[in-house]
């Protein structure tokens, strides 16, 4: 995949469909990755989440429709995929600092966000640490949800802050949870396939053996089977990769140069150590299932 060409094709697709619903699955397919991976990469490369970029482009074009036509505001709001004039007005005012009706008056200061263009940059200078692992199938037990492209981090925040999260629930009962097992002591699992921009995800730990038979212990928890696979495992340090930088290098540098392609039938994993303070020396891993080309 030519990522430079692919990302610019994403921008063209958005421009061609500003007045139509835009499915994130369609955008991710253009560059050949999951919605989850695409959202992190786009945010890192563009500096804004994909939904915010689309919102800015629609509201930028709406300004010209308002100023250069006598079209009713309600029709313009529907044209740019807003469910109601009220929702359109709120979004318009938040971005431009004035209402759509005010935009028809001369002298009103408004904003425009032109389409972005991705350009070539020099890359590949810094090393990338990776290893190949072959694993039998295993199970992850944890809190399950579906996440949108712009709230990937919120599930982790909710999990870590929730009073009955897996760590605290199991830790309060058994000391250290008996089913925790390295390397998957604390892991996020993200499916490749998404539905309507929502990615099935689970955060928890590897499940082995019997769960302690204590009432309420497993309430609200899900057990997910991860099939046998070959994994490319990438070492990350500090906050590298949290915002998508690590994913950019994996998908745009490592995969094109390697003998592997993404195995789309198996979820991708973010694997974190337990009880480690996040700092510059914090080490964690990204596990991406691979197939030989």
In terms of residue numbers, what domain contains 236? 130-292
Residue 135 located in a structural domain: yes
Residue 159 CB partners (closer than 8 Å, separation 6+): 142, 143, 165, 166, 203
Are 284 and 142 found together in one domain?
A: yes
Are 152 and 262 found together in one domain?
A: yes
Mean per-residue pLDDT for 176-199?
77
Q: Is the pLDDT of residue 268 over 70?
A: yes
Mean per-residue pLDDT for 106-133?
81
Q: How confident is residue 180, by pLDDT bands cut at 50, 70 and 90?
A: low
Mean per-residue pLDDT for 154-178?
55
CA distance 91 to 48: 16
The domain spanning residue 191 has which CATH number?
3.20.80.10
Q: Which helix (H) or strand (E) holds 180?
A: none
129 vs 14, higher pLDDT: 14
Query: What is the domain count for the chain?
Result: 2
Are 139 and 248 found together in one domain?
A: yes
Mean per-residue pLDDT for 175-195?
74
Cβ contact 132:233 at 8 Å:
yes
Are 36 and 97 found together in one domain?
A: yes
Residue 110 located in a structural domain: no
Are 154 and 15 found together in one domain?
A: no
State pTM to two decimals: 0.78
Q: How confident is residue 135, by pLDDT bands cut at 50, 70 and 90?
A: very high
Cβ contact 56:172 at 8 Å:
no
Count Cβ atoms within 10 A of the Cβ of residue 210 and give its class: 0-12 exposed, 13-18 middle, 19 or more buried: exposed
Residue 125 located in a structural domain: no
């Amino acid at each position: 995949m030519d990522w430079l060409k692919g990302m610019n094709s994403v921008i063209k697709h958005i421009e061609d469909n500003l007045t139509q619903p835009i499915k994130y699955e369609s955008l991710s397919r253009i560059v050949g990755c999951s919605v989850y991976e695409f959202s992190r990469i786009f945010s890192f490369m563009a500096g804004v989440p994909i939904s915010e970029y689309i919102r800015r482009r629609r509201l930028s074009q709406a300004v010209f429709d308002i100023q250069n036509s006598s079209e009713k505001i309600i029709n313009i709001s529907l044209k740019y995929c807003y469910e109601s004039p009220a929702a359109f007005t709120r979004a318009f005012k938040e971005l431009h600092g004035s209402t759509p009706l005010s935009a028809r008056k001369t002298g009103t200061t408004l904003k425009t966000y032109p389409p972005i263009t991705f350009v070539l940059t020099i890359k590949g200078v810094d090393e990338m640490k990776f290893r190949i692992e072959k694993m039998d199938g295993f199970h992850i037990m944890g809190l399950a949800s579906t996440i949108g492209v712009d709230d990937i981090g919120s599930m982790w925040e909710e999990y870590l802050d929730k009073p009955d999260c897996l760590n605290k629930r199991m830790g309060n009962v058994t000391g250290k949870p008996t089913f925790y097992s390295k390397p998957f002591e604390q892991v996020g699992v993200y499916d490749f396939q998404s539905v309507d921009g929502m990615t099935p995800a689970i955060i928890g730990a590897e499940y082995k053996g019997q769960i302690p038979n204590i009432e309420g212990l497993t309430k609200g928890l899900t057990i997910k089977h991860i099939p046998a696979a070959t994994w490319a495992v990438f070492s990350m340090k500090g906050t590298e990769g949290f915002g998508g930088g690590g994913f950019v290098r994996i998908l745009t540098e490592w995969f094109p140069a390697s003998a592997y392609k993404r195995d789309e039938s198996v979820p991708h994993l973010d694997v974190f150590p337990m009880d480690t303070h996040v700092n510059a020396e914090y080490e964690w891993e990204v596990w991406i299932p691979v197939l030989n080309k």
